[in-house]
Amino acid sequence: MTGLREERRGSLRLQDVAEAAGVSIATASRSLSGASGVSESVAERVRDVARSLGYVANVHARSLAAGTSRSVGLVVHEIGDPYFSEIASGVLHVAAPAGLTVQICHSGRDPERELEQIRTLVASRVGAIIVAGSGFVDPAVQAGAKADLQAFRAHGGRVAVIGRHHLGVDAVLPDNRAGGRAVAEHLLGLGHRRIAVVTGSRMLTTVADRLAGVEEAVTAAGLRFADVPVVEAEFTRQGGKQAAEQIIAEHPDVTAVLALNDDMAIGVLSVLRSRGVPVPESVSVVGFDDVAVAQDLAPSLTTVRLPMVEMGEKALQLALADPSARPRRRRVGHELVVRDSTAPPPA
Amino acid sequence: MTGLREERRGSLRLQDVAEAAGVSIATASRSLSGASGVSESVAERVRDVARSLGYVANVHARSLAAGTSRSVGLVVHEIGDPYFSEIASGVLHVAAPAGLTVQICHSGRDPERELEQIRTLVASRVGAIIVAGSGFVDPAVQAGAKADLQAFRAHGGRVAVIGRHHLGVDAVLPDNRAGGRAVAEHLLGLGHRRIAVVTGSRMLTTVADRLAGVEEAVTAAGLRFADVPVVEAEFTRQGGKQAAEQIIAEHPDVTAVLALNDDMAIGVLSVLRSRGVPVPESVSVVGFDDVAVAQDLAPSLTTVRLPMVEMGEKALQLALADPSARPRRRRVGHELVVRDSTAPPPA
DNA sequence: TTGAAAGCGCTAACAG
DNA sequence: CTGTTAGCGCTTTCAA
């Protein structure tokens, strides 16, 4: 009785399809995988039978036998963060039509955990791994991840990263430096001279690059970057709030706050509003990323737009493209979006 | 030469660990899986060897042999939507410590696609499936999904859904109806009598439930629900904008807009602001969900808080708990959060 | 073009 | 407590 066995596992096997179609299991396999070497008539019949039976191949058996799987892994810092959820959205949008499943995991901005997640993905024999979080300034921090990723590639795995990493693989690179410069120039152009910068950990390359752009602009404007207060906190809304409190306490004379991501800028706006500081009349605020809500805040946030969804799409496309000998880089544009949170400094 | 084979696949097999530790492959397996029946000293040695070798078990081989996998599937409408990314965050937060990987897929609010995604997950032999996202009022629409989910359960799979009722499985249920009532009562309590409701498709149970709550409150206040304009559009920010335009055109006398999710409310606020309509002075606006940014909008949004992260956590916990004969329901609380977007109607 | 059969790496009886 | 061995369901040579 075949019934029993079906009940045990719950689904048909290729063999059931093969029997029903009156062919061997090998032919059935070839028919369904679209491999050549089967007469079209037979192949079609097998596919019909499979469909009518509702057969779905066991992914694990297939992956085990073939050594690869039709799935990709995505490592983000935190999926609840809009920056990453938009990237994830982009990844999913190109994965689905390609018949790929996506495994998402959190690194929590911790290199250790990131390495752990990468290992898990490697063990899952995913076909590609996309690392979406910021890299770390210190290459040593990611040495482990780099080694694992290289080994993964050496065995046919595909890898792409978003943002600057020292990982030696294909990368989608937003121009954080030019973006930082642009947004700083915007404030300087409005006449601001006492600007405070609110930032996440400088260990993150994203932060380092954006900050370098800011420094360029400040220096080019004839100011000393050393005189610009740079307040470091968590790269989150909460961190932005904390930094804002500190600025209000220690640098009450600033006329503009430049936050290195929108999340922090939102935190800054929140504190200023609760303190009754009018934005942009008394203080201008800018962010970076242009997450979807930036335009709906009040005042709407001046920021630098990064095409997160597109970055996710590009990353997966890059990973899926024919492998290249040396790492490819896809730069994505940025765009200064001037909204209502900035104005000339108070007279 | 073992070297070759290692190169072919790229990683060590259990056998390599077993040899290095001088035990049989079975003992090695037991040691690593933490199964009983191995002396602790041997088990420890095996684990040490495995760790020093950097061994990671092949997930597919394991799943194939064991018939189950340490992974869960999560179906959301759209991961870029904050409502779902917060739920996903909750799911990931309980999955990771449990050693579970999470596969996320998009249904795009389309029952067909949803069914397709569920099938893919079943084929992946995930241990559990979590369906987040509203169900459909018409049970027939989801008959396919229900059948597949039941079959999946019958074969040992775990299932939990968030916020839907026609699937006959464990569910985490936000009290949409009571929430709708609460937020409508808030508006009525402030003295509003000309209220417009902005909603997504009424085919969604989420919408139907919230709307029913609103109707209860309106009726209890002695008004006729039929007199309340209900504008239907996409359940997104864009839909909210569209609905707002329509309300301004067709019902210029309303003093309050009740949007059935925050996303739509944000769209409404955006349109009102660009039209120069002061909120809450001329028109009050309320939303539903309390996505993270709701408190940072200006005016900050009065809404009903749903604990999305917690809902994600609970759903996975439910799915992971010992299976029960009949569907369990975990109700999660809601909380009216009064902020700055509501006030009494203009005199 | 088709089929038989040897694994893919691991788990889980079943022996010892 | 430990080892032997038969699969898990599929892909892929190798023959026919």
Burial class (CB in 10 A: 0-12, 13-18, 19+), B194: middle
The pLDDT tens digits for B276-315 are 999 999 999 999 999 988 988 878 999 999 999 999 999 9
Contacts of A103 in chain B (CB under 8 A): 71, 101-104
Going by CATH, does the domain composed of B1-53 fall within 3.40.30.10? no
Per DSSP bridges, beta strands B170-174 and B195-199 are: unpaired
- Distance (Å) from the alpha carbon of A223 to chain B's nearest alpha carbon: 33
- Note whether A261 contacts B: Cβ–Cβ < 8 A: no
Tell which residue, B217, B211, B216, has the closest CA to residue B192.
Answer: B217
Q: Which residues are registered as beta bridge partners of A230?
A: A197
Quote the pLDDT of residue B293: 87
What's the token pair of residue A312?
Answer: 């996710």
Task: Using CB atoms, pick whichever of B103, B156, B269 lies closest to residue A296.
Answer: B269
pLDDT: is A164 or A5 the higher one? A164
User: From the candidates A69, A125, A237, A296, which should be mutated to test the interface with B, based on the most B CB atoms within 10 A?
Assistant: A296
The answer to whether strand D lies under 7 Å from the CB of residue B122 is no
Q: CA A206 → CA A164, A197, A236, B46, B250, distances in Å? A: 7, 14, 14, 41, 48
pLDDT over 60 at B341, yes or no: yes
DSSP state at residue B237: H
Q: What is the mean pLDDT of residues A213-219?
A: 98
User: From the candidates A59, A105, A106, which should be mutated to test the interface with B, based on the most B CB atoms within 10 A?
Assistant: A59
Quote the pLDDT of residue B145: 86
Tell which residue, A291, A317, A341, A339, has the closest CA to residue A82.
Answer: A291
Given this chain, do its domains A1-53 and A176-306 carry the same CATH topology? no
Domain ranges of chain B: 1-53, 176-306
Find out whether B214 and B181 touch, Cβ atoms under 8 Å. yes
Tell which residue, B177, B187, B184, has the closest CA to residue B217.
Answer: B184
- Distance (Å) from the alpha carbon of B238 to chain A's nearest alpha carbon: 12
Task: Please report, rounded to a whole number, the percentage of residues in chain A having pLDDT higher than 90.
Answer: 62
> B66: how many CB neighbours lie within 10 A of its CB?
12
Contacts of B61 in chain A (CB under 8 A): 60, 64
Distance, CA of A65 to C1' of C7, in Å: 8
Size of interface A-B (CB pairs under 8 A): 164
Cβ–Cβ gap B151/A93 under 8 Å: no
pLDDT: is B5 or B220 the higher one? B220
Quote the pLDDT of residue A10: 57
- Note whether B296 contacts A: Cβ–Cβ < 8 A: yes
- Distance (Å) from the alpha carbon of B227 to chain A's nearest alpha carbon: 31
Residues with Cβ within 8 Å of B92's Cβ and at least 6 positions away in sequence, in order, are A79, A104, A105, A106, B102, B312
pLDDT: is A63 or B259 the higher one? B259
Footprint on protein of nucleic strand C, Cβ below 7 A: A 23-27, 30, 36-39, 42-43, 61, 64-65, 67; B 5, 9, 13-15, 25-26, 29, 32-33, 35, 57-58, 61-62, 64-66
> B109: how many CB neighbours lie within 10 A of its CB?
19
Task: Kindly report the CATH class assigned to A176-306.
Answer: alpha beta
Closest nucleotide over all strands to B26 (CA to C1'): D3
- How far, in Å, CA of B10 to CA of A89, rounded? 31
Find out whether B247 and B271 touch, Cβ atoms under 8 Å. no
Contacts of A96 in chain B (CB under 8 A): 105-106
Per DSSP bridges, beta strands A195-199 and A335-337 are: unpaired
pTM listed for this prediction = 0.90
Q: What is the mean pLDDT of residues A187-216?
A: 97
pLDDT over 90 at B76, yes or no: yes
Position B10 confidence tier, pLDDT thresholds 50, 70, 90: low
pLDDT over 90 at A269, yes or no: yes
Q: Which residues from 29-68 of B have any strand D atom under 7 Å from their CB?
A: 30, 36-39, 42-43, 61, 64-65, 67
Distance, CA of A10 to C1' of D15, in Å: 34
Q: What is the mean pLDDT of residues A242-253?
A: 97
Residue for token pair 């008394």: A282
The answer to whether strand D lies under 7 Å from the CB of residue B123 is no
- Note whether B155 contacts A: Cβ–Cβ < 8 A: yes
State the SS3 of chain A: CHHHHHHHHCCCCHHHHHHHHCCCHHHHHHHHHCCCCCCHHHHHHHHHHHHHHCCCCCHHHHHHHHCCCCEEEEEECCCCCHHHHHHHHHHHHHHCCCCCEEEEEECCCCHHHHHHHHHHHHHCCCCEEEECCCCECCHHHHHHHHHHHHHHHHCCCEEEEECCCCCCCEEEEECHHHHHHHHHHHHHHCCCCCEEEEECCCCEHHHHHHHHHHHHHHHHCCCCHHHCCEEECCCCHHHHHHHHHHHHHHCCCCCEEEECCHHHHHHHHHHHHHHCCCCCCCCEEECCECCHHHHHCCCCCEEEECCHHHHHHHHHHHHHCCCCCCCCEEEECCEEECCCCCCCCCC
Quote the pLDDT of residue A232: 98
- Distance (Å) from the alpha carbon of A116 to chain B's nearest alpha carbon: 11
pLDDT over 60 at B41, yes or no: yes
